[in-house]
Amino acid sequence: MDEENIRVTKIIVFGVISWGLTFIFTRRIFSKYSFSFSNRLLSTAHATIAVTLATLSVQDWSCPVCPLASKPSQKQMDTMAFSLSYMIYDLICCQFDQVISIDNAVHHFVSILGFLAGLSYQKSGSEILATLWVAEISSPFLHLREILKEIGYRDTKLNLAADVCFALIFTLARMVCGPCLVYVSLSADNPIFIKIYDENIRTFSLLPLSSYHNRIS
């Protein structure tokens, strides 16, 4: 195993363990709140960090998804490994919730396959991280609106602001950027699992917004 793969493996293993321990710690601090509350806090943290890392990894701002079907940079590899560790943790964690969401589990599973394909083939880093950016850019507001409701801010202006921000960002990212990204990815010479990963975003974009009320990813 070369140095690059060792680095990626360490990030994944350390990440899964860290996410798990952080969740346990968070549950103890916010024990009076629901299981979902603690998981949403971690999901918000992941989304914020992932979007930041994906943004910083862009190689050409004139074409954020370029170069297409190319070898990922070190930053892109690290970001994929980071998000892969979160997806593995969250897929496991969600199985302990009282309500298990099948569509959420499928979403996580396909995302894991996409990251694994990108890391294994060492290809399509730009497309994968662009997809990650589109998928996660609205997540903080998705989780914020549910967190606010649980801590007693339901039907307030703050909650309304979170609702509006989520709806606007979700619509722009998933309905506008998403289809364009899927087209670019499917047109490029990408491995099948990476194409499925990008198509996964389009599929979830077609779900009604109400179906995201109970999502944790």
Spatial separation of the C-alpha atoms in residues 3 and 66, rounded to whole Å: 25
Q: Does 217 fall in a domain?
A: no
Show the CA angle centred on residue 124, arms to residues 126 and 186, nearest 5°: 100
Q: Could you tell me if residue 48 is inside a domain?
A: yes
Confidence class of residue 121 from pLDDT cuts 50, 70 and 90? confident
Residue 82 belongs to a domain: yes
- 149 within 8 A of 92, measured Cβ to Cβ: no
Rg (CA), the chain: 17
Residue, of 104 and 113, whose pLDDT is higher:
113
In this prediction the pTM is 0.86
Candidates 187, 189, 190, 168; CA nearest to 179 is 187
**Number of compact structural domains in the chain:** 1
In a domain, 122, yes or no: yes
Tens digit of pLDDT for each residue in 44-84? 999 999 999 999 999 888 888 888 878 899 999 999 999 99
Q: Report the percentage of the chain scoring pLDDT > 90.
A: 51
Residue 183: inside a domain: yes
Range of the domain at 30: 3-212
Map tokens 């903080």 to a residue. 140
Contact between 39 and 94 under an 8 Å Cβ cutoff? The reply is: yes
Alpha helices in 95-156 (DSSP H): 102-121, 125-136, 139-150
- Which of 192, 83, 189, 98 lies closest to 130 in space, CA to CA? 83
**Higher pLDDT among residues 146 and 60, named by residue:** 146
pLDDT of residue 168: 95
> In sequence order, what DSSP letters do the residues of 140-207 get, joined into one string?
HHHHHHHHHHHTT-TTSHHHHHHHHHHHHHHIIIIIIIHHHHHHHHHHS---HHHHHHHHHHHHHHTS
The string of pLDDT tens digits covering residues 164-217 is 999 999 989 888 887 788 777 777 777 676 666 666 655 554 454 444 444 434
Q: Is residue 80 part of a domain?
A: yes
